[in-house]
Amino acid sequence: MEKENNVTLLTKFVLTGLTHQPQWNIPLFLLFLVIYLITIIGNVGLMTLISTDPHLHIPMYLFLGSLAFVDTSISSIVVPKMMVNFFAKCQLISLPECMLQFFLFNISATTECFLLAAMAYDRYTAICNPLLYPVVMNNGLCIRLIVLSFIGGILHAFIHEGFLLRLTFCNSNMIHHFYCDIISLLKISCTDTSLNYLIVFIFSGSIQVFTISTILISYTLVLITIFKKKSVKGIRKAFSTCGAHLLSVSLYYGPLLFMYVRPATQQVDDGDMIDSLFYTIIIPVLNPIIYSLRNKQVIDSLTKFLKRIV
């Protein structure tokens, strides 16, 4: 704690976590441990496969590899600390640690938004303009889009981090969440947070609207193109591919929109933590399945890789 103008400023916080009932600690720890291990194995395995197989060095799989890296980061930033807190007597986290966790999480979450939009545009180009695809979506453009996605994530994180540094905490050090989320921090600050909420609404809202619009327009044009061909097999394949991708996008964006674009409330709803579980824990473990294990080329590459190492 520090004192400023006779006001005690708090520098350590308590993450309340998912449950207040001790009997749930071990079952939840084991559940999230299994999910985390599957997430790491699935995403790191996918990155390894893409990096070692020259046949997968094309835009679609370079985007997938980048998405796998971001999903690994999101899960690793949040889950280990949450699992440790299941058995910690006092779930303390210092202000610098809290700021760093939010900063890294914000980079990864924002980058994922941009990557999902880039992947949707890639599929639109491949299906709607197949003859121009090798020219329009080459590896050079793909790498530039990936780099821009990360730059966008870093800049977005710096903006929010900068505005968080203006806040002070003197009334409560209880963060009603399982990680340092910006909304939870704003709710316990003793500084006027109206500007911070406005920044969250403007920047997070703009990024989500832009990326969601790109995804929806891209997949709508893909479906229109497939329907024009009047191929039953093509329609089934399109629904299978686009449906799976849109399911992943819905699970990721739904909670984000609810959390960061809604008006500010005075108290943290426990439902916020449930929403957060989707984009911090569930989506990272589902994405390798949704985007890769349903892909024949990835399966073939995995089969060849396993035969080489066995």
Domain residue spans of the chain: 11-309
Helix segments in 230-310, DSSP class H? 232-260, 270-277, 283-288, 296-309
The pTM for the full model equals 0.89
Helix segments in 86-204, DSSP class H? 95-128, 133-136, 139-164, 182-187, 194-199
State residue 130's pLDDT score.
Answer: 85
Joined together, the tokens standing for residue 116 give 């999902």
Q: Is the pLDDT score of 269 beyond 60?
A: no
Q: What are phi and psi of 171, to 5 degrees?
A: -100, -50
State residue 240's pLDDT score.
Answer: 66
Window from 123-132, 184-193, 220-229, 260-269 with minimum mean pLDDT: 260-269
141's CB contacts (< 8 A; 6+ apart) are 59
State residue 7's pLDDT score.
Answer: 47
- Give the C-alpha separation, 60 to 115, whole Å: 11
Window from 20-24, 79-83, 282-286 with minimum mean pLDDT: 20-24
Q: Is the pLDDT score of 261 beyond 70?
A: no
State residue 310's pLDDT score.
Answer: 66
User: At 267, is the pLDDT very low, low, confident or very high (cuts 50, 70, 90)?
Assistant: very low
Q: Is the pLDDT score of 158 beyond 50?
A: yes
Q: Is the pLDDT score of 152 beyond 90?
A: yes
Q: Is the pLDDT score of 242 beyond 60?
A: yes
**CATH, domain range 11-309:** 1.20.1070.10
Residue (of 115, 113, 100, 106) closest to 147 by Cα position: 115
Q: Which is more confidently placed, 297 or 124?
A: 124
SS3 24: helix
Q: Is the pLDDT score of 16 beyond 90?
A: no
Q: What is the rounded average pLDDT of the residues 87-93?
A: 80
Joined together, the tokens standing for residue 45 give 């395995």
Specify whether the CB–CB gap between 16 and 175 falls below 8 A: yes
Over the chain, what is the mean pLDDT? 84
Partners of 93 in the β-ladder:
13
Window from 185-194, 204-213, 274-283 with minimum mean pLDDT: 274-283
Q: Which own/partner pairs from 39-43 qualify as long-range (CB within 8 Å, at least 24 positions apart)? A: 39/71, 39/72, 39/75, 39/79, 39/281, 39/284, 39/285, 40/72, 40/75, 40/76, 42/68, 42/285, 42/288, 42/289, 43/68, 43/69, 43/71, 43/72, 43/75, 43/284, 43/287, 43/288
Distance of CA 15 to the CA centre of its chain: 21
Q: Is the pLDDT score of 4 beyond 70?
A: no
State residue 220's pLDDT score.
Answer: 87
- Give the C-alpha separation, 64 to 74, whole Å: 15
Which range of 8-22, 193-207, 279-293, 295-309 scores highest in mean pLDDT? It is 193-207
Specify whether the CB–CB gap between 175 and 13 falls below 8 A: yes
Window from 36-50, 99-113, 263-277 with minimum mean pLDDT: 263-277
User: At 114, is the pLDDT very low, low, confident or very high (cuts 50, 70, 90)?
Assistant: very high
Q: State in Å, rounded, how far the first CA of the chain is from the last one.
A: 57
Residue (of 160, 152, 70, 143) closest to 114 by Cα position: 152
